[in-house]
Amino acid sequence: LFNAGKALERLERFDEAVDTYDQYLRAVTSDEDRAAAAELCERLCPKAGRGVLVLVSEPPGASLTIDAEPYPLKSGTRACLVPGEHIVAFALEGYEDVTQTVRVPKAETVALRTTLKARRAVGTLRVESTIVPAQVYVDGREMGKAPLDLRLGADRLVQVKVGAGSGYHAWTQAVSVAA
pTM over 0.85: no
pLDDT per residue, tens digit, the chain (179 aa), is: 889 999 999 999 999 999 998 888 888 888 888 888 888 888 899 999 999 999 999 999 999 999 999 998 888 888 999 999 999 999 998 899 999 999 999 999 999 999 999 887 778 889 988 887 889 999 999 999 888 998 887 777 889 999 877 778 888 999 888 77
CA 129, 134, 136, 140 torsion-angle sign: negative
Distance in angstroms (rounded) separating the CA atoms of residues 124 and 177:
7
Among 87, 125, 120, CA closest to 104: 87
- Whether the CB-CB separation of 50 and 80 falls below 8 Å is answered with yes
